[in-house]
Structure 1
Amino acid sequence: MHPLITWAVAHPWPTAGITAAALTLLIATAWAAARAARRLALPPGSILMAGLGAMVCTAYSADTSWRFAEHRLGMADSTERAVMFAAGELALLACAVMARATKAATATDTAAGTTGVPGVLVWCITGVQIIPAFTESGLVGGLVRAFFGPVMAGLLWHLAMGLEIRVARPEALSTGLPAVIGRELRERLLSRLGLATRDRTAEQITRDRATARAVRLAALLELRPGGPLAGSRHRRLAAAVARSGAGTNGEQRHQLLQQLAARRTSGQLATVPLASPWTGTPEPGAGYPSTPLGVTGEYLRRMDPLAAIHRVHSAHPDTSPAELAALLVEYGVPVSETQVRVATRAGNPERPPAPEVPAPERPALNPVPARVPSAGLELDLTTSPVVHPDVQYRVPVFAADARPLRIDVRIPDSADDTEPEHTAAADEVPDSDDEVPEGDQEVPDPDPLIEQVRAEHGTQVPGGIKAIRAQYGVGQARAQRIRHALTLETAP
């Protein structure tokens, strides 16, 4: 039996202690390794898988190199072959790592960087390692060995190292010589095939091609309307127009007519008047005026008017909107005060105070002489239980149908037969200039003229008091008494 086992059996307690200590140390080591692995920033799973595949393909390529070194390079010694056979694989891995470092060193904010010479050497080594694959296994076997060996190793190392620019930065373009040549060839091929315009459907591409064909055939028919091919050209022109959809699509018809007009009038380009580029050209460095006002105005005129307002307002924060608008106009930016107020949120201008209008002077009114209150006028307004017929059904439809309010006034009999002076109408007020005739100063009572007036005119004298005065030559007071006496006779 082994001496160590014999000692462990002979000394169980020390063996148990040593075993427990070893297990504890092993667990602590595993726990520390797990924590360190969690702290590490591991690459994504896709990069790990690409690296694993690259190592397997590199080993596949190394097997081909091992056999090629023995059969073709004369390395019979195993030690010599073990040291030398993997030179290509190691060089491939070294160039891939150097290409990654070069790419990281040349990367900027706007470019993803280039791999430089190491990136080119990666593909050169891959191409050289294809030769041993075909040499060892022939055409078919060599194709398999070359594809799964050096070619896939180079591609997977290229992806695992992050050397693919489109993966590192999709918006960046490669500046290498092969990439530039390939990009130019691709663009020229697409332009030759009529596919240079992007975002077009297959139907639109067909319409554009038919439009171009119709323009070319129409131009040929204009130049050579006759000839043996005229009928064929007419048929092809009709087919091209129908295929272009110009009859139903207004935009396509406009494009067809514009292209045809440009082709037909292309001869006018030789006589188009153009301004000479040799006259009126500013001197180099004199594009801007030399004064500060001119430089600032040229800068502001290139901006949007609102942006120019904000820029000038930030430089002159204490300027009023009117002064700011005037300053911008001096710089050559035509803006109004209203635009400045809207841009700076200054609000509407304050309204000027209304001028004080003096109160109109009222003319002094002459004092109205006090009228002596007349005595003896009595208005006897009596009520009646029966509504008057004129107002019983008073519902006027129009304002013209409304009748004036009627007031019945009854003057009671007085012991004095003389009528007070205030009972006269407004147009019958005695004039102060009238003189009382001498015959009216002493008139007997009753007045003998009453009978004469009654006999000639009855109780109603046309013209009233004025007619009595004019006809009989009496004064105002006597005419009033005559009329009063006649009125009493007609009263019920």
Structure 2
Amino acid sequence: MPTHPLITWAVDHPWPAAGIATAALAVIGATLWATVRTARAIDWPPVPVLVAGAGAIVCTAYSGNTSWRFAGERLGMVDSTERALMFGAGELALLACAVMARANKAATSTITTAGSAGVPGVLVWVITGVQVIPCYATSGIVGGTVRAVIGPVLAGLLWHLAMGLEIRVARPEALSTGLPAIIGRELRERLLSRLGLAARDRTAEQITRDRATARAVHLAAVLELHPDGWMSGYRRRRLAAAVARSGAGTNGEQRHRLLQQLAARRTSGQLATVPLASPWADTPVPDEAYPRTPLGVTGAQLRVMDPLAVVHLVRAAHPGGTPAEVAALCTEYGVPVSETQVRVALRAGNPHPAVPAATATALDRASEPVPGAGLELDVWSTALVHPEVQSRVPVLAAAGARTPQVHARIPLSTEPEYGVPAAPDVPEDPVPGPDDVPDEHDDEVPDGDRDVPDPDPLIEQARAEYGTDVPGVRTLKARYGIGQKRAQHIRDALGGTP
């Protein structure tokens, strides 16, 4: 038996043959590994889609055989080349329409709908119906039926499943928007409604009770109209059975439902005389939920922003608004804030305490000159800093002795005048008692700080110097040479905490 030359060469040269065989096995193994890895990396459709696609391909080939015979026998395509180019036009058109229909469904699908195949989906069934004709023309009634069912009909059906099943597998809750699917769903819902099964979340026992309740209401209404009819006894027995089956005797909710339905049926004639408001009357158009927002920002964007940022936006849109007005506007825009929050955001300080009307009236009358008096007290407010308080060095009370002096006397009568009660007689030069001796740790309060000016010019100066870092009362007293009351007022205006 002659030996192959490659075997003879391999026997004569064992080492080169072993190297070549090893290299060939390595190449084959690498090729197989790359092929498997590439196949695994491909995002394959679900298995049902692949099976439906394979079946559609086989059925399309079966339909192609029918088209090949029909082209030669009925269409006169005797040339093999001509027949090979023309016989599969229907199958290719069917495949193209199926692919286009699948693309349309994928493009128009959402979370709740499976999309629509569109015109290509309709053409799939049109082409399938046309391809049934060659089946019967080639093989008669019996053979044509077999060829039509296994060929174009199954091909169109499997292509339809292959193009639509993947979307339903990925989202089972999605609904098809095609015309047959819409008609099928509507008929199914109407049938369930006719059978009394349309209401969801009901058990079979509850459905039975509801049907018995409706039957009892109907029989009770009929007996009311014909209490002595020839079928009254039969109807009473049926009514008793329906009431027992409905469970109205033991179930309070079911009994209430039965009585409500019966009352509605007995008083249904009152619907003709029930007064109703005319829907044709002019009704005002409701305003928008929120007015036009500042600086072009929508209300939804304002409501998710920080309230302090919204306050700044509203203040920028309404620069002349007070803190109360800015708070009201923010509330209208859907961001409820208080006036205190607006003052904190704008660093406007706390408002001055309101003076009661009676006190304000008394003060206004007391400031007027008293008729017949020998002394008139002239009081005014000034924005200037008095020279005696311009020193920035604190003055201790122990540095010098205080000499009590009377700067002005206002004669007071013993009878009340202008609504101000008379004061008792006070000696002209009262002698200071032991409690009037100042503490050595208290700072001397200048005369200009006994009545804090309003507005205080030092507030803006302190705000410019310290910013958001609010100093203490002692620091303000040392910085501006003022007293305790005025320093406390300045710190409160800057937003400091007590």
TM-score (norm 2): 0.52
190, 193, 208: which one aligns with 1:191 = 193
List aligned pairs for 1:299-314, cutoff 5 A. Answer: none
C-alpha separation in 2, matches of 1:311 and 1:268: 56
Per the alignment, residue 116 of structure 2 pairs with: 114
Query: 2:38 and 2:123 mapped to 1: Cα distance?
Result: 36
1:105, CA displacement in angstroms?
A: 3.1
- Deviations along 1:127-176, whole A, 9 cap, x unmatched? 34445555666666655544443333223222323466533433332222
Confirm or deny: 8 A CA contact 1:97 1:161 kept in the other structure: yes
Instruction: Report whether the alignment pairs 1:171 with 2:173.
Output: yes
CA distance in 1, matches of 2:269, 2:136: 63
Give the direction of change, closer, same or farther, for the CA distance of 1:211–1:142 in structure 2 (3 Å limit): farther
Distance 2:120 2:77 in 1: 29
2:283 aligns to what? Answer: 281
Q: Name 2:256's counterpart in structure 1.
A: 254
Provide closer, same or farther for how the CA distance between residues 149 and 219 of structure 1 changes in structure 2, counting only shifts above 3 A.
same
Q: Is the 8 A contact 1:95 1:118 kept in 2?
A: yes
Letter in 1 for 2:41: R
1:329-408 equivalent positions in 2, closer than 5 A: none
- Distance in 2 between the 1:97 and 1:329 partners? 56
Shift of the alpha carbon at 1:87?
3.1
Contact 1:165-1:173 at 8 Å conserved across structures:
no
Superposition pairs for residues 470-481 of structure 1, below 5 Å? Answer: none
Measure the CA separation in 1 of the matches of 2:330 and 2:262. 47
Aligned to 2:374: none
Q: Which residue of 2 aligns with 1:61?
A: 63
Distance 1:103 1:292, change over 3 A: closer
Rg larger for: 1
The 1:268/1:291 distance shift into structure 2, 3 A limit, reads farther
Change (3 A) 1:147 1:200: farther
- Verify the 8 A CA contact 2:112 2:173 in the aligned structure 1: no
Shift of 1:279: 3.8
Residue 281 (structure 1) shift: 1.1
Cα separation, 1, equivalents of 2:162 and 2:304:
54
- Cα shift at 1:63: 3.6
The verdict on how the C-alpha distance between 1:35 and 1:236 changes in structure 2, with shifts beyond 3 A counting, is closer
Q: Which amino acid aligns with 1:51?
A: G
Cα distance in structure 2, aligned partners of 1:173 and 1:129? 30
Deviation of 1:100 (Å): 1.7
Q: Against the structure 1 CA distance between its residues 27 and 332, is the aligned structure 2 distance closer, same or farther, given a 3 Å change threshold? A: closer
Residue 236 of structure 1 and its aligned partner are, at CA, apart by 2.2
Which one-letter code corresponds to 2:186 in the other structure?
A: E
Shift in CA distance, 242/271, structure 1 to aligned 2, threshold 3 Å: same
Give the structure-1-normalised TM-score: 0.52
Q: For residue 46 of structure 1, report the CA deviation from its aligned partner.
A: 3.3
- Please give the residue correspondences for 1:132-151 in structure 2 after superposition, counting only pairs within 5 Å: 132-133=134-135, 144-151=146-153
Q: Secondary structure at the match of 2:175?
A: coil
Native 8 Å contact 1:112 1:168 kept in 2: no
In 1, distance between residues paired with 2:230 and 2:92?
Answer: 72
Shift of 1:79: 5.1
- Residues 2-151 of structure 1 aligned to structure 2 (within 5 Å): 29-69=31-71, 80-108=82-110, 111-133=113-135, 144-151=146-153
- Listed one character per residue, the Cα deviations across residues 407-463 of structure 1 (whole Å, up to 9, x for unaligned) are xxxxxxxxxxxxxxxxxxxxxxxxxxxxxxxxxxxxxxxxxxxxxxxxxxxxxxxxx
Q: How many pairs were matched up?
A: 325
Structure 1 residue 58: Cα displacement: 2.3
Cα distance change on mapping 1:50 and 1:251 into 2, 3 Å: same
How many Å separate the matches in 2 of 1:234 and 1:31? 83
| Structure 2 counterpart of 1:360 | none
1:86-127, Cα deviation, whole Å (9 max, x unpaired)? 333222211111112222333456644321111111222233
Structure 1, unmatched stretches of 5+, are 301-307, 318-322, 341-492
CA 134–195 in structure 1, closer or farther in 2 if over 3 Å, else same: farther
Tell me, in whole angstroms, the C-alpha distance in 2 between the residues paired with 1:164 and 1:40.
16
Q: 2-side partners of 1:37 and 1:51: how far apart?
A: 18
Q: Which runs of 5+ in 2 are unaligned?
A: 313-323, 342-498
In the alignment, the residues of structure 2 paired with residue 155 and residue 98 of structure 1 have an alpha-carbon distance, to the nearest angstrom, of 15
Bigger Cα displacement from structure 2, 96-105 vs 158-167: 158-167
Q: Report the 3-state secondary structure (helix = DSSP H, G, I; strand = E; otherwise coil) of the residue aligned with 1:221.
A: helix
Change (3 A) 1:332 1:125: closer
Note closer, same or farther for the CA distance 1:135–1:197 as it changes in structure 2 (3 Å cut).
Answer: farther
Cα RMSD (Å): 4.9
SS at the partner of 1:161? helix
Deviations 1:21-73 (A, max 9, x none): 87776555545444433433333333322222222222333344445555655
Q: Retained in 1: the 8 A contact 2:310–2:330?
A: no
- Cα 1:260–1:313 shift into 2, 3 Å: farther
Task: Give the Cα–Cα distance (whole angstroms) in 2 for the partners of residues 52 and 46 of structure 1.
Answer: 10
Q: Quote the offset at 1:190 in angstroms.
A: 1.5
Amino acid at match of 1:115: A
Distance 1:7 1:330 in 2: 96
Paired amino acid for 1:96: A
- Asked if 2 retains the 8 angstrom alpha-carbon contact of 1:309 and 1:328, the reply is no
Distance 1:33 1:282, change over 3 A: same
Q: Look up the match of 2:403.
A: none
Is the 1:99–1:163 contact (alpha carbons within 8 Å) kept by the matching residues of 2?
no
Distance 1:250 1:292 in 2: 53
How far apart are residue 238 of structure 1 and its match? 1.9
Q: C-alpha displacement at 1:80, in angstroms?
A: 4.9
Percent of aligned pairs sharing the same letter: 67
State the partner residue of 2:238: 236
Rounded Cα–Cα distance in structure 2 between residues aligned with 1:336 and 1:82? 82
Whether the 8 Å contact between 1:245 and 1:252 is mirrored in structure 2 is yes
